[in-house]
Structure 1
Amino acid sequence: MKRRSLLQLTGAGALGGLAACSGGGSDTGNVGNAGKDLAPWPTYVPFAGPQPDAPGDDSVGVQPLYLTYPAQLTSAYTEAPGDGSEVTAMVVTYEAPPKPLEQNSFWQEIGKALNVKLNVVVVPDPEYAQKMTTLMAAGGDLPDIVMFTNLNLPRRAEFIQRGCADISDLVAGDAVKQFPGIANIPTYAWKGMGRIGGRIYGVPLERPMPANSMFVNRTRLDEVKAPVDWNHDQYLSAMRDLSSGRRWGTGWYKTLFTGLGGITYHAGTWGAPNIWAVQGGAFTHTAATPQFEQALGVMRELTSAATHYPDSLTASSTDMQNNFYNGTVASLPNGFGALALPNLQKIGNRYTLGLARPYSAQATPWRSLGNFGFATFKKAAPERLKVLLRIVDHLSSPFGTKEYELINYGVEGRHFTKENGVITTTELYKSENSSTLPIRYIGTAPTVLHLPGYPEVAQAAHEWEKAVMPRSIAQPAAGLQSATQSSKGAQLDQILGDGIAAITFGRKPVSSWKETLTQWKAAGGDQLAEEFAKEYQAAS
């Protein structure tokens, strides 16, 4: 696609295109799963890949570690998945727009491998929520594949149920075996995505089990003699020592104050439940626990000590991440998927990337939903849906395959070289990869710990997972549906986010949290708890 066409498709005209999933109406369907005939989760058929240098542990979320690249690769497919047709996918992006197709050799090679004319419509992250909300209220045709992040969009489930393809018959149970890449997606990723009305409407984009984690500049932490295993006082002392001149110890950004994103590390450190706690079948929100208030207190301490980036409430996620990569801030909460080669290349030789361990002995680190979001499909005849699923399947090819190599590193000799078990990317890779052309948000392989050129970072991440994840706890409401969540979830998240921000930045005392909690409950929080309890029982 030409750049002009790409930008036009991300504008208002493209937004109407997605509303085929909404039917253009405002009625809500019954998206719950209680009392429904539940489509079975797709059968998990793990890929028998190369032997890792250190094993993973799926039971607690430790990934397999690969310090070197496999010497022998297998071919996942004998033929291309596409039929030569045109396929349009709409995805979020956290990068600048990709180079146009005619100037982008990576894009061209992906199209050849898939045997389709692949149009990728990118929506910049700062615009994603507004554009997706707008498109769900409009009318028009739908792109073939639409990617949803886990952002809480109003009436998202109804939007999908009404107009997007129900793919249950193609992927539920053993049916998924016709798509080996999709069958290799672990069950936890599907459960985290959830069913809608008992049916399956998307393919999850798998992510590791660690939830939002605190990424740190390990080099600067070593300079101030901050221990790897620290306590509360040592943590605060390190953040103070790191903050001077135009450099800060901690960084947040505005999108992390829309709900619970920015407080995840601190809440888990103090042992707060992962969003919800279930006891005797009843749901209690983490915001109502004393451990959560302890976490709020630490965030207030950090800003009182002037350790935080001063524009935390206005900086975009992209700008704040760049501030972390260039060394302006020394720590930043982010999704675990940020542990990726393109981001390490942004850091370069400035410092060594690390992950912060909890600073309390009572820690219960939070697990993620097991996915970054999911891909949905335009309603179509079964044969067309199979083509689209084969494309997602191909893009989900596992580590150790030739297909994975192309998708993740490009063309050997052009985007990377390979010698003695080490992948070395070229200058061209920086502008042509699966982040700048975000095909990894159409389909993606289950992640492993392999970071070419940065084996020490991968090793340290594996040690972090082994130390932290055995104590981690899952989110009991993961994948559950709720009418209140669908209609008011974004509003409820904003109430909590505004309350967190007010305390964090000193506009209100920590004691004001009880007022925020009362407001949240009255606005629908109590109803949310009741609905999740009902769904939880049905899914058990």
Structure 2
Amino acid sequence: MTNVSPRPFRPSRRAVFGLGATALAVSGLAACGSSSGGGSGSGGFEEQALTLPTHVEPPVPEGGIASEVEGMPMIFTSPLKEYFTSVDEAPGTGDEVTTFQVLWGAPPRPREQNEYWQALEERLNVTFTPTLTAADGYNDKFSTTIASGSVPDLSFVQDTDAIGQRALADGAFADLSEVLSGDNILKWPNLANVSTNAWQVSAKNGHIYGVPNENPFLTNFPLVRADLMRRAGHDSMGSTAEEWLQVMTDIAGLGTAHGKQIWGMSTIGGNEQAMFEWMFRAGTTWQLDDAGKVTNVLMTDAFEQVMEFEKQLWDAGVIHPDGIGGELPDLFTTGQIALTIDSFNGFFGNPIIGQVVDSTPEAEPEFFVPPAFDGGDIVIQRDDGYWGIVAISAEAAEDEARLHALLGVINYWRAPFGSQEALFIGSGTEGVNYEFGPDHEVVGLEDEQADADRAALQWLGAFNSPIFSIGATLTDYVDNFRTTMEQLVSATVPNPVAGTIAPSAATLNAKLDSLNEDYRNGFITGRRPLSELAAYREAWLSGGGQTLCDEYTAALDEAS
């Protein structure tokens, strides 16, 4: 499984296809105001020069496959034989440490009955007192907690949410810019493993207010049934968009294969729309025009090319006839769809690959790099690099020794994969939550209560850098996955408005998403002629799109 966290507060990367979804463009906040450097926040985000923390690559445990491509996680294909120590001594001083964190499942038993809780306190040398709040009520509870004036020592802050932004701007949390700048961060070696990209994107006008929960550069990517590709007479997915279209047309033209009715693709949703934008180099959802103003991919010539291409796919019968505007069951794992797009956890953790091969033994899933329309390079929007931060209360940070101890607690929590600390945080205690199998694999003991106790407490909100762990039954796909992902990750470009927010987005998103869906589906199916693209753009701008562009532009201008 990829070592990444759940992300319930974020909509999909391109909700509907993202033209009205601000969350695609926000993973951080560049706002305005004033703040002091060093140990405590005084309110606001006045622009300041930031010395980014020194980056140190996490250690590569034996068997790990590290990449030289920035943003490509390490790959592991077999259980670790040994676990190293990343924290030499407990970070705490025996005092109480309070937290505010997400509760994803059932609440834990009280400390006296909870072996994970007791072991955590012993390892950290603290009295651990968490406030656990379910995801669906998290922001409301966070707001009331901040308003009470009693801010926990450590809090997971969803800093793209207005409530989180206001708490940071109002000085509820410590400005960590100075204490973590440059080589200062080396006092907490596991924090130094955070990528430079994550620090940059999560900083607020040059201020670091917390340790970011890091994401991979790319979270969704395509996989094709190579057996169907070859059955249709092709040995690759082509080197241009025209060739790609021919391959998919020929696959759809098979009609049946291995005794099953087949189609090329089930739909053209958000992930598929993104892939076609890669192919036509449409760029990021929000981008800067020649005058330095924020505009949307909808306004580009490449977007029109994408619409024309998707109409060709529909006309060629590549898309399932019920795949536009309808609801379809999962046809890929049943062996009836040639191409799908999903995440690492979907392909290897679910696992989609294993399911399609089980249902169709002749299936040969293969990852691939979609060709650019002209045979050149593709352009992929990079994930914004993190989701939320673990922040330290301004009050707790007034005492330098306590500030350092709290950073030590986060440092323990963010221990790298392969360490004893990360094993404990993620899996619990040997003999209570798991045991080692014959190949030294971690085998759960299926004690639901013990696992619930662990799961309830472990999600502080800052974990080790993402990794890809591929189980023994799927190792035949490792080389193809690795080489494909390195090419895809290398093609990612950052979102130019990552770190900004459009205040009106919350009220405009639903309206714009509905507009987007209506026009795009109309273009694809022929219900609307492509000559209405100008009307679509005007409707989008007048319906709130221009407001969002202006707000992003103003935010960038203020930050710079």
TM-score, reference length from structure 1 = 0.71
1:425 is aligned with what amino acid? V
What is the rounded CA distance, in whole Å, between the counterparts of 1:70 and 1:208 in structure 2?
22
Aligned to 2:13: none
1:43 is aligned with what amino acid? T
Q: Provide closer, same or farther for how the CA distance between residues 113 and 34 of structure 1 changes in structure 2, counting only shifts above 3 A.
A: closer
Is 1:201 equivalent to 2:221 in the alignment?
A: no
Task: Spell out the pairing of 1:221-232 with structure 2 (5 A cutoff).
Answer: 229=237, 231-232=244-245
Task: Spell out the pairing of 1:42-441 with structure 2 (5 A cutoff).
Answer: 42-50=53-61, 54-59=65-70, 61-82=71-92, 83=94, 85-91=96-102, 93=104, 96-97=105-106, 100=109, 109-115=119-125, 116-117=127-128, 119=130, 121-124=132-135, 127=136, 132=139, 136=143, 139-140=147-148, 141-149=150-158, 152-154=160-162, 156-162=164-170, 163-193=172-202, 195-210=203-218, 212-214=219-221, 229=237, 231-235=244-248, 249-250=265-266, 263-278=273-288, 282-283=292-293, 284-295=295-306, 301=314, 305-307=321-323, 310-311=326-327, 338=345, 343-344=350-351, 357-358=369-370, 360=372, 361=375, 363-382=378-397, 383-412=401-430, 414-420=433-439, 423-426=441-444, 428=446, 432=451, 436-437=455-456, 439-440=458-459
2:85 is aligned with what amino acid? S
Q: CA deviation at 1:462?
A: 1.3
Q: CA deviation at 1:324?
A: 8.6
Contact persistence 2:108–2:453 (CA under 8 A): no
Kindly provide the CA deviation profile for residues 185-219 of structure 1, in whole angstroms up to 9, marking residues without a partner as x. Answer: 110111121x2243111111112211x41465869
1:68 is aligned with what amino acid? S
Higher RCO, Cα 8 Å, sep 6+: 2
Q: Provide closer, same or farther for how the CA distance between residues 166 and 307 of structure 1 changes in structure 2, counting only shifts above 3 A.
A: same
1:466 is aligned with what amino acid? E
Q: Provide closer, same or farther for how the CA distance between residues 216 and 38 of structure 1 changes in structure 2, counting only shifts above 3 A.
A: same
Is 1:515 equivalent to 2:531 in the alignment?
A: no
- 2:513 is aligned, of 494, 497, 512, to 497
What is the rounded CA distance, in whole Å, between the counterparts of 2:179 and 2:252 in structure 1?
51
Aligned to 1:473: 493
Aligned to 2:33: 30
Contact persistence 2:177–2:208 (CA under 8 A): yes
What is the rounded CA distance, in whole Å, between the counterparts of 1:470 and 1:274 in structure 2?
15
Contact persistence 2:512–2:545 (CA under 8 A): no
Give the match's secondary structure for 1:455: helix
1:468 is aligned with what amino acid? L
Q: Provide closer, same or farther for how the CA distance between residues 435 and 86 of structure 1 changes in structure 2, counting only shifts above 3 A.
A: closer
Q: Provide closer, same or farther for how the CA distance between residues 494 and 416 of structure 1 changes in structure 2, counting only shifts above 3 A.
A: farther
Instruction: Give unpaired runs (5+ residues) of structure 2.
Output: 1-30, 36-43, 239-243
Contact persistence 2:69–2:486 (CA under 8 A): no
1:442 is aligned with what amino acid? G
What is the rounded CA distance, in whole Å, between the counterparts of 1:442 and 1:334 in structure 2?
24
Indicate the RMSD between aligned Cα atoms, in angstroms. Answer: 4.6
What is the rounded CA distance, in whole Å, between the counterparts of 1:435 and 1:370 in structure 2?
27
What is the aligned-residue identity percentage? 16
Q: Which has the larger radius of gyration?
A: 2
Contact persistence 1:342–1:430 (CA under 8 A): no
Contact persistence 1:364–1:471 (CA under 8 A): yes
Contact persistence 1:57–1:64 (CA under 8 A): no
Q: Provide closer, same or farther for how the CA distance between residues 252 and 305 of structure 1 changes in structure 2, counting only shifts above 3 A.
A: closer
Contact persistence 1:303–1:504 (CA under 8 A): no
Give the match's secondary structure for 1:165: coil
TM-score, reference length from structure 2 = 0.69
